[in-house]
Amino acid sequence: AAKPYRLPASIEDKLRRELERFCDIGVMRHSSPSEWASPTFATPKKNHQIRVVSDFRQLNKQLKRKPFPLPKIQDILQRLGGFTYATSLDLNMGYYTIRLSPHASKLCSIVVPWGTYEYLRLPMGIMGAPDIFQEKMSKLMSDLEWVRTY
C-alpha cells in the first residue's frame, strides 16, 4: 500500500470535509487499510473549493482498458449542422453516477493521513473512466434523435 501524502493544514481540513461529504452522499465510504490504497491530495479551485486528486498510477498499471470511441466535437457539430438553437449540459460529478462493483470498490481505495476510504462510484483518474462514462451516456441518450454526448 502507498503511504499517504503530507498535506498542508489548510488543505487537509478542506479535504477531510470533502471526503466526509462524499461519504454522506454515497460516493465513498470509510474502509480498512488496503494494499490497493492510492495516495490522495487536493488542489484549490478558482471558486475556493478543492479538487480531490487520487494518484491511481500504480492501480492503472494493473488495469486493462476497454476502449470506447470518444467523439470529436468537430464531427458532432458537422453532423448537427444547420441548427438554430443548441443546449449544452455539463454533468457535475457525472462519473459519480456510475456505481462500482464491490471488487472494483476495493481496488479504488485511497489513503490520506487520517485513514482509508474506498470509492463506491467511478472516480476520476482511473484508466478507462472516460470510456466507461462515454459508453454509459451514449447508451442512455441513444434513442434521442438530436442529442449527442461528448
Q: Residue 112 has what pLDDT?
A: 98
Let me know if residue 147 belongs to a domain.
Answer: no
Alpha carbons 143 and 32: distance in angstroms, whole number: 43
- Does residue 11 contact residue 17 with C-beta atoms inside 8 Å? no
Q: What is the pLDDT of residues 121-139, one digit of tens each?
A: 999 999 999 888 888 888 8
Q: What is the pLDDT of residues 72-117, one digit of tens each?
A: 888 877 877 777 887 887 888 889 999 999 999 999 999 999 999 9
115: domain CATH number is 3.10.10.10
Mean pLDDT, range 17-25, rounded to an integer: 97
Name the domain count of the chain.
1
Tell me the DSSP string of 58-108.
HHHHH------PPPPHHHHHHHTTT-S-------TTGGGGSBPPHHHHHHT
Q: Which pLDDT belongs to residue 86?
A: 77
In terms of residue numbers, what domain contains 21? 9-141
Has residue 2 been placed in a domain? no
149 within domain boundaries: no
Percent of the chain with pLDDT over 90: 59
